[in-house]
Amino acid sequence: MSWEKQMQQKEDAVAGDRRHYRRYGLHLDLKWKLIRRRRVLDTGAGNKIDLSSGGLLFDAGRRLPEGLNVEVAIAWPVLLLNVAPLQLVIAGRIVRSRGYHAAVRATQHEFRTAGTLQDQRGGSSRNSRTSSTPPIMASPAVFATLGKML
């Protein structure tokens, strides 16, 4: 085996998946806001690709610049107390951008309510869900488990 091939094999072994947090692949709708100095520079919508407690990788629908802060609101597929839709809101910095995919290192995350089912049915502008799939009903115990995962 040539020296070049041996070096490439060593580099491939070292460059493997070295993430600190387990990643969960989900396909959920999201909205993002680019933020600089507490001002919103740009907004858009996209799809979630994978998520961990350390960050997320998502399809932003266009290229986003590295180094800027971003807030991502993910339409969560679970209802709070079987009534209120939820959003998982993640704030962080864009650490990598390739094509339309942006990788974000999370600095903060929290679940927020996003109106009620009545708001959803009425077509309220507060509704962040665009999917026709009905949300999953869950008890408060489910949120305790999700909080530990994230």
Residues 6+ apart with CB under 8 A from 67: 93, 94
Each residue of 106-145: pLDDT tens digit? 999 999 998 755 555 555 444 444 444 455 555 555 555 5
Nearest Cα residue to 108 out of 133, 71, 142: 71
Q: Domains of the chain by range and CATH?
A: 19-149 (2.40.10.220)
24 SS3 class: strand
Kindly report the pTM of this predicted structure.
0.64
Each residue of 20-77: pLDDT tens digit? 667 767 788 999 999 998 899 999 999 877 888 889 999 999 999 999 999 999 998 8
Per the DSSP assignment, residues forming a β-bridge with 108 are 91
C-alpha span between 141 and 131 (Å, rounded) = 25
Query: How many CB atoms sit inside 10 A of residue 133's CB?
Result: 7
Each residue of 4-16: pLDDT tens digit? 665 556 555 545 4
